Amino acid sequence: MRFRSLATLVAASFALLAAPYTPPPIFTNTTIFLPPSDWKSHATQCARVTLLNQACETDNVLLTTFTINPNDTYLPVYKSVDGGLTWAELSRIHGGFLMQPFLYELPMQVGNYLRGTILATANVIKFKGNFSSTGNFSSSGNFSSTTNIDIYASKDKGENWDFVSRAATGGAPNSTNGADPIWEPFISTYDGQVVVYYSDSRDPLHAQKLSHQTSGNLLTWGPVVNDVVNANYSLRPGMTVVAQMGNGKYILTYELGPEALPGSRYPVHYRIADSLLEFENATDFLLKSQDGTVPNSAPYVVWTPAGGSNGTVVVSDGKYSELFLNTEYGDPGAWSKVSTGLGSSYSRSLQVMPNNSVVLMVDGGLYRGANTSVTAGEFVIPGPQSVANATSTCK
């Protein structure tokens, strides 16, 4: 009897392991964070989200962080265990005035940081006086002399955070040409290294360019490498996001402004390369949908195997509520604008969910909005669903 009971239990356990992932119901709008009524500023911005699936996790935990104004010198980290439907504060990252954050789970060991370590980065500014809720950085009078891309790490899935290193330092936050700050970090990994991308105004030959640096231990960082530079000094590429597509190539999206295109002062451009480290000489494309729409500012890109034999490249921007989809690995003539049923937002973050057919969008609020909140909603990729299951990358 004991043998039969044990066998039955083992069989049931394997059945559970083999059961397909069943996603929670699709939702279109859930509130993650609303600034308290007694706060002087009710502005939120730049939400970022990541699914913890790089170290054999199967519980589909999501983490998000975002800028709050004034943020009392911390970034809030919220956690969801039900696919993004409900959220609760998990921890806080301290280190000065932290803005433009990003979260990333290591898919491999780097230095002393094991696979599954959560990295956070932000543009860290020490400020004097009150930060303007309008987000206007044209005057640096209230700020100290540096912007800093700092790296933090959590070894316990986001509950506690430690400062790791400073990847780069720039001048005071000032968006006028001739100033020398750095902005908008993004993290990825490639060939055993962590790569930090950012917008870089320190080069006297360019009002702004896109750069990256790499580290094999998260403690020391290599030289600055160009990703996007423009011969026109006044043009300012910004807001790097990269994703790997199913054909093994990498796509980098960014905004480029100010350009005089109808309805798009900061049109979205992109490049495709064989390496995450070699975008500078890649062909540059303007993202333009088949109906003539050019997305504007603050792009974010992901790729999912759902939607067809080539999967789908998904791009969000800072102007339209729609998403821009491409099922031909970024072919410039194959972009379509697709309704989402969700609102527009500055720099929406995208996360492909475990069954690959759903993309979670986390919205940090409109640019320079005085009364904003952080919300989440889901979008179902049109076309065939993927047979792959991305619940875990465990190998």
CATH code of the domain covering residue 101: 2.120.10.10
At residue 2, the pLDDT reads: 35
How confident is the model at residue 40, as a pLDDT?
Answer: 83
For the chain, the first-to-last Cα distance in angstroms comes to 36
Tokens describing residue 334:
């194959």
CA distance 55 to 237: 34
Residue 47 falls inside a structural domain? yes
Instruction: Name residues whose C-beta falls within 8 Å of residue 190's C-beta, 6 or more positions apart in sequence.
Output: 214, 275, 276, 277
Nearest to 66, CA basis, from 376, 313, 304: 376
The structural domain count of the chain equals 1
Q: Has residue 342 been placed in a domain?
A: yes
**For residue 388, which of 304, 322, 318, 302 has the smallest C-alpha distance?**
304
The Cα 307–Cα 315 span in angstroms is 14
Residue 16, domain member (yes or no): no
Instruction: Identify whether the C-beta of residue 171 lies closer than 8 Å to the C-beta of residue 147.
Output: yes
Query: In the numeric block, which tokens belong to residue 371?
Result: 């009364």
Helix (H) or strand (E) holding 2: helix 2-18
Which residues, in sequence order, are CB contacts of 103 under 8 Å at separation 6+? 48, 49, 50, 63, 64, 65, 77, 118, 119, 120
DSSP state of 4: H
DSSP 54: S
The residue type at 155: K
pLDDT score at 349: 98
Residue 134 Cα distances to 90, 93, 302, angstroms: 28, 23, 29
pLDDT, position 343: 84
In a domain, 20, yes or no: no
Helix, strand or coil for residue 283?
A: coil
* pLDDT tens track, the chain, 395 positions: 333 333 333 343 433 344 454 556 689 899 999 999 888 888 899 999 999 999 888 889 999 999 987 656 799 999 999 999 999 999 999 988 899 999 999 999 999 999 999 999 999 986 654 444 444 444 444 545 799 999 999 999 999 999 999 999 999 999 999 999 999 999 999 999 999 999 999 999 999 999 999 999 999 999 999 999 999 999 999 999 999 999 999 999 999 999 868 888 999 999 999 999 999 999 999 999 999 999 999 999 999 999 999 999 999 999 999 999 999 999 999 999 999 988 888 889 999 999 899 999 999 987 777 788 999 999 999 998 876 655 455 66
Exposed e or buried b per residue across 41-57, where buried means at least 16 C-beta atoms within 10 angstroms of its C-beta: bbbbbbbbbbbbbbbeb
Q: Residue 135: count other Cβ atoms within 10 Å of its Cβ.
A: 17
Supply the DSSP string of 222-247, one letter for each residue.
---EEEE--SSTT-EEEEEEEEE-TT
- Residues paired with 187 in a beta bridge: 196
Q: Look at residue 10 and tell me if it is in a domain.
A: no
Residue 61 in any domain: the answer is yes
Structure tokens at 206: 């360019």
The radius of gyration computed from the CA coordinates of the chain, to the nearest angstrom, equals 21
- How big is the CA angle at 230 (ends 227 and 234), to the nearest 5 degrees? 130
- What pLDDT is recorded for position 113? 98
Determine, yes or no, domain membership for 23: no
pLDDT of residue 366: 79
Domain that holds residue 141: 32-380
Count of residues for the chain? 395
Concatenating the DSSP letter of every residue in 291-303 gives TS---BSS-EEEE
Residue 88 lies in a domain: yes
The reported pTM is 0.89
Q: 353 with 304: CB under 8 angstroms?
A: no
Distance CA 93, CA 375 (A): 20
